[in-house]
Amino acid sequence: MRLCLDCQQLNKVTIKDKYLLRHTDDLFDQLKDSDVPKTTFRTRYKHYEFLVMPFGLTNAPSVLMDLVNRIVQSHLDKFFVVFINDILIYSRDEIEHT
């Protein structure tokens, strides 16, 4: 299940990444404790807070790219390419690929 949220108001006040990829050491997918209340939303049944970065936040794509690039750093541009949430694993031929 993927939740659909309207993050427009939060995105308006979010400091945008200046670079395509972020280079911070503490950046995985978890939010800082002080940021959790900013992602709070309520339904008629329950109150929710995201503990990880949800889809829709303005910096989510660059955070994801940075994390995946760090994980596969030694393979980048050898047989692995990442663009936002698209990952391409390639090889010269079928034998090399297996």
Number of domains in the chain: 1
Task: Please check the confidence at residue 82 and state whether its pLDDT lies above 90.
Answer: no
Contact 68, 22 (CB under 8 A): no
pTM of the model: 0.53
Residue 2 lies in a domain: no
Task: Please check the confidence at residue 74 and state whether its pLDDT lies above 90.
Answer: yes
Average pLDDT over residues 66-85: 86
Higher pLDDT, 37 or 28: 37
Average pLDDT over residues 73-94: 86
pLDDT value of residue 1: 59
Which of 25, 89, 31 lies closest to 60, judged by CA? 31
Residue 1 lies in a domain: no
Residue 63 lies in a domain: yes
Confidence of residue 20 (pLDDT cuts 50, 70, 90): low
Q: Quote the domain boundaries for residue 15.
A: 8-97
Report which secondary-structure segment, H or E, holds 94: helix 94-97
